[in-house]
Amino acid sequence: MQNSRFENNLWKFRKIANLKQKDLAYLLGIKNISQISRWEKGERLPSLENCFKLSIVFGCSVEEIFSDLYEKTKNFIEKRKKQKDKENQEK
């Protein structure tokens, strides 16, 4: 499940909200706007607290912002559940 980049919709939601990176950083209480850029490029993931803040600012769910990561995680868990169920049936 590891990926060097984390696809997200931050840039899209920020543009829809008509916010500059510095505006978003201010709303989130972040002093270094390069952090926003790293998130948008998928180089880093925001903390859970910042994910909630982003959700509030954009009026959408965290799942919508990080839909690709959510789907990858969901698929990973579903695959593991099936493997576990198969192991349990063989016992």
Confidence label for 4 from pLDDT (cuts 50, 70 and 90): low
Q: Does residue 2 lie within any of the structural domains?
A: no
Q: Does residue 30 lie within any of the structural domains?
A: yes
Range of the domain at 69: 10-90
Q: Does residue 60 lie within any of the structural domains?
A: yes
Residue 7 is predicted with a pLDDT of 86
pLDDT in tens, 26-84: 999 999 999 999 999 999 999 999 999 999 999 999 999 999 999 999 999 999 999 99
In CATH, what number is assigned to the domain containing residue 29? 1.10.260.40
Question: Which pTM was predicted?
Answer: 0.85
The string of DSSP codes covering the chain is ---SS----HHHHHHHTT--HHHHHHHHT-S-THHHHHHHHTSS---HHHHHHHHHHHTS-HHHHTHHHHHHHHHHHHHHHHHHHHHHHH-
Q: Does residue 5 lie within any of the structural domains?
A: no
| Domains held by the chain: number | 1
- Is the pLDDT assigned to residue 91 strictly greater than 80? no
